[in-house]
């Protein structure tokens, strides 16, 4: 067994697409190009509108915020909930109070989370 710790010096500040108050720490990448990262949004922080590079899961671990997809409708998202964006889908996210999320990006992601049909329809 090996133990790992996320160190503050490994976090990268995100400023692309007009983003602010956002830090990302890479966790892993596999040989098929799947990336997993830890994201922190400060109070008032946001990730600006940008296209998804591959399929993307945005799983909120702590706090709450909002997510927006192609339709331009902002949806509240809380700890324990996840948003999914298709490859190339324009999207953005933010938080008034701050949040921590796990980002998973790759091709042919198979979502095994249990989502209510109403929620999944709202995001499609």
Question: Could you give the CA distance from residue 21 to residue 44 in angstroms, rounded to a whole number?
Answer: 7
DSSP characters for 23-64? EEEEEEE-TT--EEEEEEEEEEEEEEEEE-SSEEEEEEEEEE
45: its two tokens: 């922080």
Other C-beta atoms within 10 Å of 118: how many?
A: 7
pTM of the model: 0.86
Tokens 């983003």 identify what position?
19
pLDDT in tens, 69-80: 999 999 999 999
pLDDT in tens, 70-106: 999 999 999 999 999 999 999 999 999 999 999 999 9
């Amino acid at each position: 067994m090996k133990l790992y710790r996320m160190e503050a010096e490994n976090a990268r500040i995100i400023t692309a697409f007009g983003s602010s108050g956002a830090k990302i720490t890479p966790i892993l990448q596999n040989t098929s190009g799947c990336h997993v990262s830890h994201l922190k949004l400060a109070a008032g922080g946001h990730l600006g509108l940008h296209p998804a590079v591959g399929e993307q899961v945005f799983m909120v671990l702590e706090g709450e915020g909002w997510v927006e997809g192609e339709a331009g409708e902002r949806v509240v998202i809380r700890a324990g909930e996840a948003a999914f964006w298709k490859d190339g889908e324009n999207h953005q996210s933010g938080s008034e109070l701050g949040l921590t999320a796990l980002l998973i990006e790759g091709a042919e992601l198979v979502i095994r989370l249990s989502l209510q049909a109403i929620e999944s329809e709202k995001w499609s």
